[in-house]
Amino acid sequence: MLYDLISKTRSFRRFVEDEPIAMETLRYLVDLARLGGSARNLQPLKYVLVNTPALKAKIFPHLGWAGYLKEWTGPQEGERPAAYIVCLLDTRLSKEADCDLGIATQNLLLGAAEKGLGGCRIASLAPGLRDVFDLDDHLQVLQVIALGRPAETVFLNEQGPGEDIKYWRDTDQIHHVPKRPLQEIIAGEHD
């Protein structure tokens, strides 16, 4: 069951835009993020929850969508996220939160998958994104999580010898994500 949940927690980049996500659901996902571990238990992450069309439209142009898909500029209208969760670092509490951010966003995305939603972590952010929000100076934008019901299929492929690890889309627009074989990532076993 956990294996299945993790396997279907992929980076989705196309969504059913007109199916809103309730603020209660966004709060639930952030609560899952909050419950994860935190280095030195500092808990320096904060979140902005967005599900209104006007604010979503202001956020969208500031996001970079898929580094390996050079020709693709991101989801078209109707395929854009139904909501965003903006992850912030409270620099009064810590100057970095890389470990915390990974734990928090994985919990959040697992919760989204549990609810039939998909998401994508986006760290390619234009500097002007900060101006979209009325943030205090001590809050730094780290990442944006795009959320919605997936409008695409993501398929995991076992990487073959000599094959590239870059994700790609086939002619049917199925998104393929190569994964290194298990035996390749185990550096040793001591039984």
- In the block, tokens 């972590």 appear at 121
Task: Indicate the CATH number of 2-152 among 2.60.40.10, 3.40.109.10, 3.30.565.10, 3.40.50.300.
Answer: 3.40.109.10
pLDDT tens per residue, range 94-118: 999 999 999 999 999 999 999 999 9
Query: Residue 144: is its pLDDT beyond 90?
Result: yes
Position 161 scores a pLDDT of: 87
End-to-end CA distance of the chain: 26
Question: What angle, rounded to 10 degrees, do the helices at 23-35 and 98-114 form?
Answer: 130
Q: Supply the CATH classification number for the domain 154-191.
A: 2.20.180.10
The number of angstroms, rounded, from the C-alpha of 39 to the middle of its chain's C-alpha atoms is 21
Q: pTM score > 0.75 for this model? A: yes
pLDDT tens per residue, range 36-70: 999 999 999 999 999 999 999 999 999 999 999 98
The total of other beta-carbon atoms located within 10 Å of residue 22's CB is: 10
pLDDT tens per residue, range 165-188: 999 899 999 999 999 999 999 999
**Domain boundaries for CATH 3.40.109.10 within the chain:** 2-152
**Domain boundaries for CATH 2.20.180.10 within the chain:** 154-191
Residue 43 CA to residue 62 CA, distance in Å, equals 26
Query: Residue 82: is its pLDDT beyond 90?
Result: yes
